[in-house]
Structure 1
Amino acid sequence: MEIAENAALVVVDVQKGFDEADFWGPRNNPEADDNIASLIDVWQATGRPVVFVRHDSRKPGSPLRTGYEGNGFKEYVERRRGKGVGAELLVTKTVNSAFYGTPDLDAWLKGEGISQFVVAGIQTNMCVETTARMGGNLGYDVVVAYDATHTFDLEGPFGWRRSADEVAQASAVSLHGGGFARVVATKEVVESAG
């Protein structure tokens, strides 16, 4: 796998509110936070651009709502912000896609001459998947570091309930099999980018 010299790392919604297990329920990929941190470290060490995305929920009871402690980035992300030598961008959003945030991610990536990006963060099947799908639709070469994402158990229609692992795997199959993105392990990305 080739990671471009100017490939961006898009770190999606790694916020404290996602640690509130009583709200979200069981999660998968316990190693996701370590893998996200390792990706940020490699991107910053190699001078590549990093985009930090924050979800500012408008729902009153959401752990990600603006003004609530859970809206802030997890400590390991906050400690790394502003530490790289490459470009850095903060995007805030109220919907699933980082491409519908402020400032305009697509315009920024194009302005920086970036055609490839790697996605990591929370939740695999929500904001990570939506951002990856839109990136693919917009013509970017999108890579999803699967084990640098996590999600939660989910109930859908007809009383169907799926575990976090099942939901994440379905998301990965849709993204990879559908041609929106290449879904790979963090180790592959780190080795290619380092």
Structure 2
Amino acid sequence: MGKILENLNTVLLIGLVLAIGLMMGFHADAITESVVLRWLHVFFGITWIGLLYYFNFVQIPTMPSIPAELKPGVSKYIAPKALFYFRWAAAMTMLIGLLLAWSNGYLVEALTFKPGFQLIGTGMWLGLIMGFNVWGVIWPNQKKALGLVEADDATKAKSARVAMLASRTNTLLSIPMLYAMASFQSLPR
């Protein structure tokens, strides 16, 4: 069992097979496009927000206490890999969320805050703002701060701060966004 769990790709593949097994074993007759899209939206959303919280609750507050000679371990190896999954999980969460709303017939109603769709619309707009923040502010600035693109020391420092503030903004927005997303299906419209 240890060999299986040592390989992340194998773990993900087995998890996917088990999830499909649950779908087919318990609800094969009820599996719809909407069910699959919701499952994928939640999976990628957890990945995105989990990494957002990792950066804000662990990495950013811990970096000042890491000895200078050890910081390259984070900035050259951990952060770029985490940012890869972070930005692509954001993109997939947004894309699949929009497809889910379209599949369920409320995309326009939610995005235009029609009565009964204001809560999910608010959640969607917060998610879209956060996603654009990832791709338009955080990632371009992190590339400079981490030295993935050429930048002088002053630019790196300024970019690190801009990326951190944008990330903290996303953390702030994630709290009401998660409420809106999680509550839409449960609350009366």
TM-score w.r.t. the length of structure 2 is 0.28
Q: Which has the higher strand share?
A: 1
Q: Which has the higher contact order (CA 8 A, sep 6+)?
A: 1
Choose 1 or 2 for highest CA Rg.
2
Q: Which has the higher helix share?
A: 2
TM-score w.r.t. the length of structure 1 is 0.28
